[in-house]
Structure 1
Amino acid sequence: MSAPPAPLRIVLVDDERMVRTALRAILSSEPGLEVVGEAGTGAEAVPLVRELRPDVVLMDVRMPDVDGIRATERILGTGSEPPRVIVVTTFENDAYVYDALRAGASGFLLKRSRAEDLVQAVRLVARSDSLLFPAAVRALAAEHAGARAPERNAAARALHDRLSEREAAVLRLMADGLSNSEIAARMAVGPATVKTHVGAVLTKLGVRDRTQAVIAAYESGFVTPG
């Protein structure tokens, strides 16, 4: 009989102790999840994550000293296998959230989210075969990327030229928020084939997960709002 998989290791980063306590209570009650550390500032979080090497970090975006954006950049810029970062925020359309996603966060979660959404978010980001709350991520990318780069035809062509036609089709479906299984059904191919194409897209774009691939698609103009 095979041993059960190791639990997902989680670090909580928030300057409000009450928020950390609530998050710990929810996550620690779930099978397969383990909160291994807490930090009250971004400055504390960076060495803590390096020491504990968690799978997922829940990161508050607005903190004194070092905010969640800078902390995310520093965490993801070190180590060969950095954790997935989920930004925890009060406002979903906050420009800070988009900046955190551009810095490498895999998604974001509202502080008013239900407990089951929190648990699902951690598991989904760790598995990384779908966007975390795709409609919200796409809306943020469309709004903020459009404002930052109004003239992007050359960038769109450059991105397209890096991909095969199949990979370009997969990226468009990723930007629509489809999971691997949904892409497989849409393209009438096997899930393993989709996984291979997704991996090739991430490698060619130089990004580490689907969220960054979707942001790159919007910022280059390869995918346009609507």
Structure 2
Amino acid sequence: MTRPSNATRVTIVDDHALFAESVALTLENEGYQVRRIDLADSRATLASVLAAILRGNPRIVLLDLELGRVGDGMRLITPLASNGVAVIVVTGSVGGTWRGECLRRGAKAVMTKTSPLEEVIATVRRARDGLPLMSREDRDRLMTEAANGQDQDREMRSRLERLTRREMEVLGALMRGAQVRDIARESVVSEATVRTQVKSILAKLELSSQLSAVGAAYKVGWRPPGEATT
């Protein structure tokens, strides 16, 4: 079906084929000119995906954050927004402060894939018509939550830096799923010694359990010495 030359161009960047195809078909039936970016190419990178999007000169981009091995889709928001693209984030991510961070980087709206398809399409229509996609109150609230979350993450990173090298090694082992007895056996020390080290870790991080310490470390992207961060 041939689209009129003035049809609104929408690009979909999502590695979930069923979702992307459903959205694309619905938009095409409404007269939009829809293009999907191929994320299956083994050579694809965030830079090549960005270039491919901009070559199509879209007015609207529906962007997932989790792009598999290609990387974090959030990093595409600012360069797209700076090129005048209306970015609508539609992702499977839940929880956390990612919504506010996406808005801070320039996204016009943030939605989850649990949103009804009609709600996603209605948001695209509003973007096409130049209407606000979110209320000012919702935007401000989410961006404030993101800023507060960043402050908390910085504080946790600061606490992690206070750990001794041995405590970092123990926390790293816990993050890999090791138990106290495993760490003691591998380090050739008593379990009591490892428990004392764990208690010191929890005290410095101001947390109450090994699980919360592991979760906090992963949340801020911390890795023990010798392990690469991602």
CA distance in 2, matches of 1:66, 1:91: 14
Question: How far does residue 59 in structure 1 lie from its aligned partner after superposition?
Answer: 0.4
Q: Which letter does structure 1 place at the counterpart of 2:75?
A: R
**Counterparts in 2 of 1:99 and 1:139: CA distance versus 1, 3 Å:** same
Q: Which letter does structure 2 place at the counterpart of 1:30?
A: E
TM-score normalised to structure 1 length:
0.54
- 1:158-197 → structure 2 map (5 Å cutoff): none
**Counterparts in 2 of 1:66 and 1:74: CA distance versus 1, 3 Å:** farther
Q: Which letter does structure 2 place at the counterpart of 1:143?
A: E
Residue 45 of structure 1: SS of its match in structure 2? Answer: helix
- 1:10-159 → structure 2 map (5 Å cutoff): 10-31=10-31, 33-40=32-39, 42-63=46-67, 64-77=69-82, 79=83, 82-91=84-93, 93-132=95-134, 136-148=138-150
Q: Which runs of 5+ in 2 are unaligned?
A: 153-230
Question: How far does residue 146 in structure 1 lie from its aligned partner after superposition?
Answer: 3.8
Residue 137 of structure 1: SS of its match in structure 2? Answer: helix
**Counterparts in 2 of 1:146 and 1:94: CA distance versus 1, 3 Å:** closer
1:68–1:87 CA contact under 8 A, matched in 2 = no
CA distance in 2, matches of 1:29, 1:133: 28
Residue 33 of structure 2: SS of its match in structure 1? Answer: strand
Higher RCO (CA < 8 A, seq sep 6+): 1
Residue 75 of structure 1: SS of its match in structure 2? Answer: helix
Question: How far does residue 130 in structure 1 lie from its aligned partner after superposition?
Answer: 1.8
2:65–2:93 CA contact under 8 A, matched in 1 = no
Number of residue pairs the alignment of both structures matches:
143
Q: Which runs of 5+ in 1 are unaligned?
A: 151-226
Q: Which letter does structure 2 place at the counterpart of 1:105?
A: A
2:104–2:143 CA contact under 8 A, matched in 1 = no
Q: Which letter does structure 2 place at the counterpart of 1:53?
A: N
1:11–1:38 CA contact under 8 A, matched in 2 = yes
**Counterparts in 2 of 1:35 and 1:113: CA distance versus 1, 3 Å:** same
Aligned-CA RMSD value: 2.8
